[in-house]
Chains A and B, each alone.
Chain A
Amino acid sequence: MSNGLGWLRAEKQGIYLPEVDCWIDPSIPVGKALVTHGHADHARGGHGHVMATAPTLAIMALRYGEQSSPRPVDYGDTVSLGDGITATFLPAGHVLGSAQILLERAGERVIVTGDYKRRPDPTCAPFEPTPCDILITEATFGLPVFVHPPIALELDKLVGALVERQDRCVLVGAYALGKAQRIIAELRARGFSDTIYLHGAMEKMCALYEAHGVPLGPLALVADTPLDDLRGKIVICPPSALGDRWTRRLPDPLQAFASGWMRVRQRGVQRAIELPLVISDHADWEELTSTIVELAPQETWITHGREDALVHWCGLHQIRARALDLVGYDDEDEN
């Protein structure tokens, strides 16, 4: 297999379209970038021109400040990049605004999935499977041990812990963009109407979600709440705040961590997690492999994570596949 198609190739810093000098999710500032979603390992600030969905641009503005020449693209809209190349943004089901990017030129179709999942998520549009010649897929959970349980089971555990220990609060470490809002929205969907308390770092992102039409119900800041009022409550913080001094303002917090990595017990034990919640916004092994089968591309390029196992699986199933060697890609804050 070559390094690309002539009009599209994989570079260390991202997927590159040389004829129009345009990058997808570049890890360094470039002149022209298409960005799949707002997580820091895909969206960097400082590009000359940046094209993404409106929510992703809003997230980038929140995190990096106003970007120069942002160009919003709606899901399903096809834009011309020049030289006969077009890009179409399609829902990826990962977080608010997340997109796959379909690149086409002279009848050749390439899908860059970005990060994606196939399970329903009340905070974002569902993944839209799109046939293609080349599938460039993520592989964050690219090992067959990673099978995410239904989120309802994990939320049962969360709510159960809350009921069991009314004298404590349950502190959920969850990524500030996506995971936190999904957990809140899923709790609301099952009728949990109690106030949910937030670490300060969560506040603006939650407001952004609400502004984009994702209602999150009653929220309050830990900083504004007396310690005793937090007993029997759910508190959400970024994973980095678990075990931090900040937790001393909480009543005997029971530490939970919502992450696909919690599938492996030692990952939780090492971080002194008492309540592991296997909740992920990435495709698990089943989703990764069944998506490849469903889209039936001629070639699959694999990046973002544990590529080896997925490449080997493709070989076992006579699917042409190769691992891309992109720098700087791993799930921020989840490891």
Chain B
Amino acid sequence: MERFAALLDRLIYTRSRNDKIALVAAYLRETPDPDRGWALAALTSGLNFPAVKASTIRDVVATRVDPLLYSLSRDFVGDTAETASLIWPRQPSDKPPPTVSEAVETMAGMSRSTVIAELSRLLDRLEADGRFALLKMATGALRIGLSGRLARTAFARAFNLDVDEVEEHWHGAKPPYADLFAWATTPEGQKPAIDPLAFKPFMLAHPLEEGSLDLKAFAVEWKWDGIRIQLIGDGSSTKLFSRGGEEISGAFPEIASAYNIRAVMDGELLVRGDVQGGEAGSFNALQQRLGRKKVTSAMLDEFPAFVRLYDLLVEDGDDLRALPWMQRRARLERAIVQLPPDRFDLSQVIEASDWETLVQLRDDARTQAYEGLMFKRRDSIYSGGRKVGLWYKWKRQPLAADCVLMYAQRGSGKRSSYYSDYTFGCWTAPPDQGGELLPVGKAYFGFTDEELKWLDAYVRKHTANRFGPVREVEKTLVLEVAFDSIHLSKRHKSGLAMRFPRIARIRTDKPAEEANLIADLMAMVS
């Protein structure tokens, strides 16, 4: 448990993804089974102990600590599990600290009537850091920003495996992943069988350099502006996975229940709305649905989802991924008729034989629910990850607006001494007619290192106000901001939200009064 506690602590203070991967990989290499498997499950929120409720921790502490001393401490610390771990008055225990496995087994065996006493006994065997790890594990609320994808990458790194291969064999495996570790660490360990109904690593596309493809070899589709999704049905139940391999079935129950076939398909999740000719709602609407474990019926009505399908990976238990795209496509077109058309349709193949037409199609894309074009090699297999030469994405030219820098905040990691996160705004009306600036977006990339230094110095020299880590600057600097699209948003006072905004240029040549109006941005809303 102490090693796991130390890992958890380091992860909390580590911001860089690469450093996190290295820490987890080292832990997995150096920790015996089955501790490392349980730890991995805990880190990726794969553990659930029904006897331990959020209120349990408070109840356990109340058996030993005065309630006012606890609540004063809780107010200061801000986190229940951390407060409990720090304040716990240990009673002497003759037992050594529990291993992760022992802790997991003990907690799994607890009932509502035994949980207080048993959890207390575990806590008595641990120092503060160990108690913190135990309590975080017990409540399943680690919240350290470790995705399943990152954990699998760390696993692959730890044992010199290909991450796509790990992905392939991972899904379907259960904590503590004994067969996965046996495969990774022993010569006699077998690769766990691939469950045809388990998540398959997504095939990804490279960005396209204009005109560099032989168009005859490629099929062209729209690049839809939604959420990439994999649907896995066994005929009776269906799971939905996002691109990172996280299950999102709970957020889109109407899709899961309408998908009633035995097949694995790849497609784009979109929300029907009135924005794009009654066809697809904006990405913004989709965001309202994503990330929720449960949805209300009001949300189902307001943001009805559907899937635009573009590939068929498994059908009736047959893995089709080694077949060329053309054959998979033909089978997809046949299979789709079994699905309810209000929830599922087919991503059309675009007929265009010359680049001139394609450029025009791509740049018209803004008014539609797509963000560009996709090129798929007609004879390409479905290969997880990003392989050169098979699939390409070709995004439309970005939109741009001249905005005024309003606030800046320090970055993290190597940028922790730089004001590198910029909030910028546009005018509600021309400033000589009483217009004000309202924030329209925030960006922290797009600039060169030189420009970052310049911007940092600018922020420091032109600070008007400080609010904790945020500096408000004099509203004088114009930034040309590029973005993929812009949407209506209730979250922001300006009523707008940009997608993928970045700083394209610093416009010292332009007076702030000449920056764009909110109305100019409204006209770009798709």
Chain B residues with CB below 8 A from A274, complex form: 13-15
Let me know if B69 and A276 touch, CB within 8 A. Answer: no
Cα–Cα distance between A79 and B513 once the two chains are bound (Å):
70
Cα–Cα distance between A276 and B68 once the two chains are bound (Å):
28
Cα–Cα distance between A59 and B416 once the two chains are bound (Å):
33
Chain B residues with CB below 8 A from A276, complex form: 13
Let me know if B417 and A244 touch, CB within 8 A. Answer: yes
Closest Cβ of chain A: how far from B77's Cβ, in Å? 5
Cα–Cα distance between A276 and B9 once the two chains are bound (Å):
10
A-B contact pairs, 18 of them (CB 8 A): A143-B69, A143-B76, A145-B73, A145-B76, A145-B77, A145-B87, A243-B417, A244-B417, A245-B417, A264-B76, A264-B78, A272-B412, A275-B13, A308-B72, A309-B68, A309-B73, A312-B66, A316-B66
Chain A residues with CB below 8 A from B128, complex form: 147
Cα–Cα distance between A245 and B456 once the two chains are bound (Å):
10
Query: Is A131 engaged at the interface, CB distance under 8 Å to the other chain?
Result: no
Let me know if B13 and A273 touch, CB within 8 A. Answer: yes
Stretch touching chain B among A9-17, A118-126, A194-202, A247-255: A247-255
Chain B residues with CB below 8 A from A264, complex form: 76-78, 82, 86
* Contact flags A290-308 to B (C-beta < 8 A → 1, else 0): 0000000000000000101
Chain B positions 436-489 with a Cβ under 8 Å from a chain A Cβ: 456, 460
Query: Is A190 engaged at the interface, CB distance under 8 Å to the other chain?
Result: no
Closest Cβ of chain A: how far from B5's Cβ, in Å? 12
Chain A positions 300-335 with a Cβ under 8 Å from a chain B Cβ: 306, 308-309, 312-313, 316
Query: Is A269 engaged at the interface, CB distance under 8 Å to the other chain?
Result: yes
Chain B positions 8-25 with a Cβ under 8 Å from a chain A Cβ: 9, 12-15
Partner of B69, one of A144, A244, A246, A266: A144
Let me know if A312 and B13 touch, CB within 8 A. Answer: no
Let me know if B416 and A243 touch, CB within 8 A. Answer: yes
Chain B residues with CB below 8 A from A316, complex form: 66
Apart from A272-B412, A312-B66, 8 more pairs, CB < 8 Å: A144-B73, A145-B86, A244-B417, A255-B416, A264-B82, A266-B79, A272-B15, A309-B68
- A-B pairs, 7 with minimum CB distance: A145-B86, A145-B73, A309-B72, A243-B416, A247-B417, A143-B73, A274-B13
Cα–Cα distance between A276 and B132 once the two chains are bound (Å):
16
Chain B residues with CB below 8 A from A188, complex form: none
A-B pair number, CB within 8 angstroms: 73
Partner of B12, one of A245, A265, A306, A312: A265
Cα–Cα distance between A316 and B9 once the two chains are bound (Å):
34
Closest Cβ of chain B: how far from A309's Cβ, in Å? 5
Chain B residues with CB below 8 A from A275, complex form: 13
Let me know if B417 and A248 touch, CB within 8 A. Answer: yes
Point out which of B66, B69, B414, B456 has the most chain A C-beta atoms below 10 A from its C-beta: B69
Cα–Cα distance between A144 and B128 once the two chains are bound (Å):
13
Chain B residues with CB below 8 A from A45, complex form: none
Chain B residues with CB below 8 A from A269, complex form: 12-13
Point out which of B12, B68, B78, B86 has the most chain A C-beta atoms below 10 A from its C-beta: B86
Partner of A144, one of B14, B65, B414: B65
Chain A residues with CB below 8 A from B9, complex form: 265
Query: Is B516 engaged at the interface, CB distance under 8 Å to the other chain?
Result: no
Query: Is A268 engaged at the interface, CB distance under 8 Å to the other chain?
Result: yes
Cα–Cα distance between A245 and B418 once the two chains are bound (Å):
7
Let me know if A243 and B410 touch, CB within 8 A. Answer: yes
Q: Given that A145-B73, A145-B86, A147-B128 are contacting pairs, would A266 and B417 also be in contact in the complex, using a CB cutoff of 8 Å?
A: no
